[in-house]
Structure 1
């Protein structure tokens, strides 16, 4: 009989961690809940769906190396380790004005704890387990007057990529959220340090995400189907990481659907005699509440015509959809051939640019880069998540599918 899936989630007493614990438990996973807030953990435990074996609580201060070390005792074998716990800076001081006592807490929790968690629990990970480190869009772009927040989150991304190379048998990814209505963000809003209108204005989808949306991303990245993304820093941020405009983005003019809304996926642009059965990505219920298109036409574009093919695919999609739908382009993996790489890179930036133009209407566009040898079975969980209603805050991203036997590749 197949053993029960088990996940450990740090920072599970609130925010994204809380929502993630509920999401994993709703799918039958056994959860190990780690946080320093004993009462909040107990409250969460009382609300969670039960698993075959009891969920476990571990009250630990992750800023203390010795307390992290205690987690190795009596820990069940893990299918997934989610390093979610983190904190923001509350001093508002310039970096050079901060004392070591003010600077170091973020370093210990945001950067040191994920590394120590892996070192402590490495021998408790099952073969082919997944490790997901929650970084931030702040690790991709510097945010001033937030202390060590941006530096530590950049460190988490680097740690993730290095670990993926060192342990190709595992699936190791970093999740980079944008603005999410967590307790940290609420405190920033209440203190006047974050204007929610301006934050939404930096996000092409025109809104701030809810914790449940990032929980869906963590649930996917913690699954076996996400292993081909190992080594990637995955941005689920409403396209804020790819937006370079100076004007405020318009507010969302669409309704956010429940994360479990059924998705109808239509597959188009498959050439006759194509080497891969891309049509098997299609799902059958045309009356589903969310509509998605996976377009394979760019894979068969003439030499040097990826950008034009991507433009034509987006124009076709726009003629048929005006609200709440997604387009996923299958693209050939970026090469280093000087005669074609410019066109290939232009197609990827087209995806980001189109996402910024479409965002306020709830139309999403992403791309999935596939190798000639990539199997459809390998791609299916990734493509279906990317296209689905569960990924409504994911847009403007280009993901690379690497072989499960190879090393991870960085997302663009």
Structure 2
């Protein structure tokens, strides 16, 4: 029995990177999945892969920066499986690092629309569904080490990620009495499609990240998925309101600039 056996679980931003790694791990742990992303072809291919391997998974194309798009994966979970037990709110992105004063208003708006507003819209839809059912639930947000410290190269995204940490605390205050747990993971740096532009900015950057990280390397996205799976599972039944660093010790000892 996997740690997510039978749990109906939404994963946003599931088409690639951490989201796809999480979907594969959650499926291996027995979850019944709704995979959501803007790009339909990506999540449909992943759902087909997981279904062929014996998992239960459906794909939903959704733009979570809109209320309708954020509701769509929740509706699919209820229509397909009859309920929603868990969610990994992973959809997010940021620009290539630059000093805060070099950003313009359009960048701020774009970053906050997806990372903060989109996460809030997803969380709102999920909390409403879980509260209406009255059987508790678990949600994990994907923030990043920029939610915990400064100095990671993009103040617009860090501001949004700090806001997500606030959402975790507020949701805990509002919904813990209903048995709904809300936590976040704060990943360090991994090689994914989202970070390729960062590494492409200079070949020395991967080595610099490794030197700044006590464990001495960048992460594999599956390592972040493992932490999310544990927080979503009943093994973390007394854990709520936490933003958990999954960063190789990076934020424990220094910031990376």
Fold shared, TM-score > 0.5 on shorter chain: yes
CA–CA distance in 2 between the matches of 1:27 and 1:156?
A: 26
* Deviation of 1:12 (Å): 0.6
Aligned to 1:164: 172
Deviations 1:312-338 (A, max 9, x none): xxxxxxxxxxxxxxxxxxxxxxxxxxx
CA distance in 2 between counterparts of 1:117 and 1:194 reads 37
The whole-number CA distance in structure 2 between the counterparts of 1:37 and 1:160 is 27
For the residue of structure 2 that corresponds to 1:242, the secondary structure is helix
> Deviation at 1:245?
9.0
Aligned equivalent of 2:196: 186
Q: Per-residue deviation at 1:65?
A: 3.2
Q: Which residue of 1 aligns with 2:219?
A: 209
Q: Which one has a larger percent helix, Structure 1 or Structure 2?
A: 2
| 1:316-335 matched pairs, under 5 angstroms | none
- TM-score (norm: length of structure 1): 0.55
Is 1:34 the equivalent of 2:36?
yes
Q: Which moved more, 1:132-141 or 1:144-153?
A: 144-153
2:250 partner SS: coil
* Structure 1 counterpart of 2:239: 229
After superposition, the Cα gap between the structure-2 partners of 1:214 and 1:74, relative to the gap in structure 1 and judged at 3 Å, is: closer
After superposition, give the CA deviation of every residue in 1:100-156 in whole Å (9 maximum; x if it has no partner). 222111101111112111212323225221110111111111135424111111111
Q: Choose the corresponding residue for 1:146, options 122, 140, 154.
A: 154
1:4-403 matches, cutoff 5 A: 4-48=6-50, 49-51=53-55, 54-76=56-78, 77-90=83-96, 92-125=97-130, 127-143=135-151, 145-168=153-176, 169-192=179-202, 195-244=205-254
Larger Rg belongs to: 1
Q: Which runs of 5+ in 1 are unaligned?
A: 247-412
* CA-CA distance at 1:244 after TM superposition: 3.4
For the residue of structure 1 that corresponds to 2:139, the secondary structure is strand
TM-score (norm. length: structure 2): 0.86
Instruction: Label 1:97 to 1:244 Cα distance change in 2 as closer, same or farther (>3 A).
Output: closer
DSSP 3-state at the match of 1:118: helix
Q: Does the 8 Å CA contact 1:95/1:147 hold for their aligned counterparts?
A: yes
Q: Distance in 1 between matches of 2:98 and 2:232?
A: 36
Secondary structure of 1:215's aligned partner: helix
1:72 CA drift (Å): 4.5
The Cα shift of 1:96 comes to 3.5
SS at match of 1:175: strand
Partners of 2:154 and 2:218 lie apart in 1 by 19
Shift of 1:46: 2.2
Distance 1:13 1:115, change over 3 A: same
Q: Distance in 2 between matches of 1:17 and 1:66?
A: 21
Root mean square deviation of aligned Cα: 2.1
The aligned length equals 241
Q: CA–CA distance in 2 between the matches of 1:60 and 1:193? A: 35
Shift of 1:177: 0.8
Cα offsets for 1:270-314 (capped at 9, x unmatched): xxxxxxxxxxxxxxxxxxxxxxxxxxxxxxxxxxxxxxxxxxxxx
C-alpha deviation, 1:226, in angstroms = 1.1
